[in-house]
Amino acid sequence: MSDELLRQVQRHGSRPAHIAIIMDGNGRWARGRALPRPFGHKAGMQSVREVVEGALAVEVEVLTLFAFSQENWQRPADEIGALMDLLKEYIAREMAELESQGVRVRFLGDLDRLGPSARASVDQLMAQTSRGSKLALNICISYGSRAELTRATRLLAEEAAAGRLDPADIDEEAISRRLYTADFPDPDLLIRTSGELRLSNFLLWQLAYAELYVTPVLWPDFRRQHLWEAIVEYQRRDRRFGKVTV
Ligand code: FPP
């Protein structure tokens, strides 16, 4: 079944260059097993590994994962602590493998809010994988799309005030270049797990023309086959970007 899905993805001429994922449902997965929420996050780490391998197998170029939002700083301190510990565990455990697979990892978001040890870990993983060229893996932490757009606006205003930028030259490209995602094309496909029909302040600018795919599967149950199913569905869609098909 999964080999057939893989072949189906590969047979099709086009595939999404950039896939973004809102990884949701860890808490419900844990609750369903009468476990504390951090167990759901821990199980979700395995799904991260699955989608990285699934993306490599079908030559997706960019994978952007929403791991921790700005709003998540309002969760109970022990859950935040557990998430930060998991992040460090993920980095320590996966660094060598990610590097050998040719994955280049970047963390996008307000990294200044991270504690010193989490910050050191993310910096180390970014430096260690900086030569990877097979897959760009973006992990959004301490990320909020409105904050990202506010930051871009402030950067533009500062450049204009300093006389380095003519306000008449501010176009969509100028804004895109000041977002955390400046180096990447916009996502072609957004996947959200656990059935919720929301964007949750994720990549609001960048998702303007993305195809949306929502699955009821909870993130800790998400496997590479689920990624390929989403890609097969994407390949059936007719993307028109506001134009008509001729
Ligand atoms: C949403 O589930 C998920 C998160 C807030 C955290 C995502 C983290 C991971 C998948 C694990 C670690 C990831 C990396 C990259 C190391 P939720 O808690 O909002 O679930 P709920 O909606 O069911 O309560």
d(CA 158, CA 107): 24
Q: Which ligand 1 atom sits nearest the alpha carbon of residue 67?
A: 7
What is d(CA 118, CA 120) in angstroms, rounded to the nearest whole number?
Answer: 5
| Contact (CB, 8 A) for 144 and 69 | yes
Q: What is the DSSP letter of 134?
A: S
Report residue 241's pLDDT band, with 50, 70 and 90 as the boundaries: confident
List the 211-214 sheet strands across, edge first. Answer: 103-108, 135-143, 62-69, 18-22, 189-192, 211-214
pLDDT score of 246: 62
List residues near ligand 1 (CB under 6 A). 23-28, 41, 44-45, 48, 65, 67-68, 72, 86-87, 90, 139, 194, 219
How long a stretch of residues is the chain?
246
The pTM of the whole model exceeds 0.75: yes
Best residue among 143, 219, 222 to mutate for probing ligand 1, ranked by most atoms within 8 Å of CB: 219
Q: Please write the tens of the pLDDT for every residue from 144-202.
A: 999 999 999 999 999 999 999 999 999 999 999 999 999 999 999 999 999 999 999 99
User: Quick check: 132 pLDDT over 90?
Assistant: yes
Which of 21, 23, 97, 103 for mutating ligand 1's site (highest number of atoms within 8 Å of CB)?
23
Is the CB of residue 127 less than 8 Å from the CB of residue 108? no
- Strand (E) or helix (H) holding 159: helix 145-161
Helices (H) and strands (E) in the chain, counts: 8, 6
Beta strands in the chain (DSSP E): 18-22, 62-69, 103-108, 135-143, 189-192, 211-214
Q: Are 232 and 8 contacting, i.e. CB atoms less than 8 angstroms apart?
A: yes
Q: Which atom of ligand 1 is nearest to the CA of 69?
A: 5
pLDDT, tens digit (0-9, with 9 covering 90-100), for 104-117: 999 999 999 999 99
Higher-confidence residue: 88 or 238? 88
Q: Which atom of ligand 1 is nearest to the CA of 72?
A: 5
pLDDT (0 to 100) of residue 180 = 98
Give 70-97 pLDDT, tens digit per residue: 999 999 999 999 999 999 999 999 999 9
Which pLDDT score is estimated for 2? 83
pLDDT tens for 55-66 read 999 999 999 999
Beta carbons within 8 Å of 76's beta carbon, 6+ residues apart: none
Pair 28, 216: CB distance under 8 Å: no
Longest CA pairwise span in the chain (Å): 60
Please, what is the average pLDDT of the chain? 96
CA of 91 to the centre of ligand 1 (A): 16
Q: Which residue do the tokens 């929403």 mark?
A: 66
Give the model's confidence band at 13: pLDDT under 50 very low, under 70 low, under 90 confident, else very high: confident
Q: Does the pLDDT value for residue 130 go beyond 80?
A: yes
Which residue has the CA at smallest separation from atom 24 of ligand 1?
27
Q: Do 134 and 102 form a contact (C-beta atoms < 8 A)?
A: yes
Q: What pLDDT does residue 1 have?
A: 66
